[in-house]
Amino acid sequence: MEKSLKKSSQPVRGNGVEKRAGNRRLEVLKTYKLYIGGQFPRTESGRYYTPTGPNGRKLANVCQASRKDFRDAVVAARNALGGWSSRPAFNRGQILYRMAEMLEGRKAQFMEELQAQGLPRLRAERDVSASVDRLIYYAGWCDKFQQLFSTVNPVASSHFSFSVPEPTGVVAIIAPQQDALLGLVSVLAPVLAGANTCVVLAAESLPLCAVTLAEVLHSSDLPGGVVNILTGKAAELTGWFAGHMDVNATLYCENDSSVQRMIREKATSNLKRTVFYADDDWRLPDAQSPYRILDFQEIKTTWHPIENIAGSGASY
Amino acid sequence: MPKPPTPKKKAAVRLKFDTKWTYNPAPESRDAAQIRPQYDLFIGGTWQRPSSRKYFDTINPATEEKISEVAQAGQADVNRAVAAARQAYEKTWRKMPGPERAKYLFRIARMVQEKARELAIIESLDGGKPIRESRDFDIPTAANHFFYYAGWADKLAYAFPNRKVYPLGVAGQIIPWNFPLLMAAWKIAPALATGNTVVLKPAETTPLTALKLAEIIQEADLPPGVVNLITGAGDTGAALVRHGGIDKIAFTGSTEVGKIIQQAVAGTPKKVTLELGGKAANIVFEDAPIDQAVEGVINGIFFNQGHVCCAGSRLYVQESIARTFLRKLRDRMESLILGDPLDKNTDIGAINSKKQLDTIRQYLAIGEREGADMYQVSCPIPARGFWCPPTLFTQVAQSSRIAQEEIFGPVLAVLTFRTDDEVIEKANNTPYGLSAGVWTDKGSKVFNMTRRIKAGVVWANTFNKFDPSSPFGGYKESGYGREGGLHGLLPYINLDR
């Protein structure tokens, strides 16, 4: 990691610097944009903010998403829901696994970004590996959690009655503010495994790997619009995440009781499900569980008559 | 007064599929598959010569030409394989964390997908099944099975709440020749996911894709000895079953051999699961969507030349529609294309072996002797190789041997019925209970039937459907234990409080 700063450019080192003897190549810097509907637009508002790393080093000029960006993202998520939720569970598992493959392949880039955002090298490496493993963990759940949470109901009448989980719908996620990559992957994966679509607000001060994760998703056969990632100010956007009438659930990951209360109140408008993961340590094994998938599922019960005109029961 | 003209009787329109519908040959290229001239035993992660130094030929049943030769494993080789599996179990596999076991299985799944075309070609070459089936069913389903069970490896605690899950140890697995790679996947994937190690014996007529799988396993860097593969005939299997170092036997094959196995392990602590024969009833009611049902019956009995333990080999059609149904069934049978298994148009490939062809022919003779009417498709039969045209018997008695015994070939016995109770009595009146089919437009009738049919799998308005997440296995003399889904983990674990 090069420490010296060039005055005229943003000192993000994610894309590498080549040095040759006596001939210094100017590095090409990445523009960090939003990810909406499978595309990488800038914010419609034209605003930006500049999060800084340790020692006050500027990370990048990042889009400061607006309420309008969020609404566009919800439209994209809603449009993607039908296709994503009707895919076979097995196929969703393959796509989550593909995301893990892509993430593994970009390990170096994520480590650089995590380090630029202040993590020591070893911890950055551990976090990227854990994120890959977490995706694989939930890839496996895609076609298994149903068998845990479904039932065939032994009703007294002559009916075949069964209950199965179905996705809640569009989930608005305010990602954990601390664990820029592992926290984000840990909340994203169960929502996707459960066949929901979502809009994510990246960690405000650590947004780099969220945008790069969008590139991973983009190259993993994940249909556009299933995940939409915004960067911006939590204080500005959280209220919209909780109040939007076409969002079915809101996930908030900080332990701020006044914000939690605000989310609950605003979510009342259309009875959004509100889920709070406060103080979770995403490095622990119990930070992953099928119950996190169940958090974003509805249970549907179907009744079907069983013809009972036959006189004899088969007793072979 | 002029008489109204008597309406002319319309001549029935007969469809001439055989003359009007021809296809140009569309053969898959054999060159896309690499087959070694000789295969050794895969023991402890390396290829080892059999102690007998003996090899036997594996042939292409469509041409009777030799494809390759494989090692004949004897008692000493079985000993070595079991020892390798035991060592791998104690030293590495039982201690390996679930997430890491999972990643190995995911790797294998991915590599099977990567080599899908090659595996499909070899499957069709070695076993005679149409490339359309090996390409679209056998190989993808095998890969999916590995992918599915990979995901369970680190989630076993959720599958069996309030119990601790332990592996059994070394599993001896013996698989049949009808779905060689798929059966290997069905056996290996859940065993490895639950922490067991494996000695697998493929069928003597179809060892090649399992040997290719051993190459994949090697390429995937699976710790040596976790999967061992020994080739041979019945006595190799018997040596494996009787071996004292085995904790578990998983067998798919005939009911006859299944009974021998159960007898052999009596008095030992070995656990057993058996997936055996079947004589599935495919029941068509008068309100069924007829054309859809015809397709389903065709698929039910002629899929993989009828070499399917759950094949719908007994058709029960309601009397009121029997004539129409049989006419449509014969028409559809005439349109089936029999020939080169590597041709992408082929519906019916070669019978797996001379021995199996002899068995089928014996049953054809029995059927005629017992007074049933035989109808065979009039398609041309290739000069070399083992072939049986799609065959249908009508006027079959419930007690006839062709209605009671598993033929394991493209032979359908047709019977009729009038009422629900009657067909349930008839359908359940066999020693088997693997699968069944019900065709009706009425959902409530479906559930009435599925509730009363004694079979491990009942398909309604479909047939021969398989999925890694869906348990499969038999009632009665079709065996016990389930493969697939959450239930498919149970045969490979001990549960403790």
DSSP secondary structure letters along B161-228: TTSEEEE-SEEEEE--SSSHHHHHHHHHHHHHHTT-EEEEE--TT--HHHHHHHHHHHHTTPPTTSEE
Please, which residues 473-492 of chain B have a Cβ atom closer than 8 Å to chain A?
476, 485-486
Least confident of A9-13, B285-289, B293-297, B331-335: A9-13
What was the pLDDT predicted at B15? 63
Q: What are phi and psi of A49, to 5 degrees?
A: -140, 165
Residues of chain B neighbouring A314 (CB-CB closer than 8 A): 424-425, 428, 452-454
What was the pLDDT predicted at B19? 60
Using DSSP bridges, classify how beta strands A249-252 and A273-276 pair: parallel, antiparallel or unpaired: parallel
Q: What residue type is assigned to position A12 of the chain?
A: V
The whole-angstrom separation of Cα B67 and Cα B59 is 5
Gyration radius (Cα) of chain B, Å:
24
- For range B170-191, the mean pLDDT: 98
Is the pLDDT reported for residue B204 higher than 80?
yes
What was the pLDDT predicted at A24? 83
Do the chains contact at B469 and A147, CB–CB below 8 Å? yes
pTM, full prediction: 0.93
Q: Are B478 and B456 in contact (CB under 8 A)?
A: yes
Q: How many CB atoms lie within 10 A of CB A262?
A: 16
Nearest-CA neighbor of B227 among B254, B192, B259? B192
- For range B390-401, the mean pLDDT: 97
In the residue annotation, B64 being an active-site residue is answered as no
The whole-angstrom separation of Cα B333 and Cα B378 is 10
% of residues, chain B, pLDDT over 90: 94
Is the pLDDT reported for residue B260 higher than 80?
yes
How near does any CA of chain B get to the CA of A134, in Å? Answer: 10
The whole-angstrom separation of Cα A17 and Cα A8 is 16
The whole-angstrom separation of Cα B222 and Cα B45 is 8
DSSP B335: T
Helix (H) or strand (E) holding A24: strand A23-24
Q: How many CB atoms lie within 10 A of CB B444?
A: 17
Q: Which chain B residue has the Cα nearest residue A141? A: B151
- For range B385-392, the mean pLDDT: 98
Q: Assign B163 a pLDDT band (cuts: 50, 70, 90).
A: very high
What was the pLDDT predicted at A37? 98
Helix (H) or strand (E) holding A164: strand A159-167
Is the pLDDT reported for residue B202 higher than 70?
yes
What was the pLDDT predicted at A286? 83
- For range B307-327, the mean pLDDT: 97
- For range B362-368, the mean pLDDT: 98
The whole-angstrom separation of Cα B407 and Cα B254 is 11
The whole-angstrom separation of Cα B349 and Cα B228 is 31
Nearest to B421 among A144, A304, A312 (CB): A312
The answer to ipTM > 0.95 is no
What was the pLDDT predicted at B481? 97
How near does any CA of chain B get to the CA of A158, in Å? Answer: 9
Model confidence over B415-432: pLDDT tens digits? 999 999 999 999 999 999
* Predicted confidence pLDDT, tens digits, chain A (316 residues): 344 333 334 444 444 444 555 678 998 988 999 999 999 999 999 999 999 998 888 999 999 999 999 999 999 999 999 999 999 999 999 999 999 999 999 999 999 999 999 999 999 999 999 999 999 999 999 999 999 999 999 999 999 999 999 999 999 999 999 999 999 999 999 999 999 999 999 999 999 999 999 999 999 999 999 999 999 999 999 999 999 999 999 999 999 999 999 999 999 999 999 999 987 899 998 899 999 999 999 999 999 999 976 555 544 4
Do the chains contact at B147 and A90, CB–CB below 8 Å? yes
Nearest-CA neighbor of B181 among B233, B225, B216, B224? B216
Residue A245 sits at the chain B interface (C-beta within 8 Å) = no
Residues of chain B neighbouring A142 (CB-CB closer than 8 A): 151
- The beta strand positions in B423-497, using DSSP E, are 435-439, 457-460, 479-480, 493-496
Helix (H) or strand (E) holding A200: strand A197-201
Do the chains contact at B159 and A148, CB–CB below 8 Å? yes
In the residue annotation, B310 being an active-site residue is answered as no
The whole-angstrom separation of Cα B267 and Cα A267 is 64
How crowded is the C-beta side of B221, counted as CA atoms within 13 Å?
A: 6
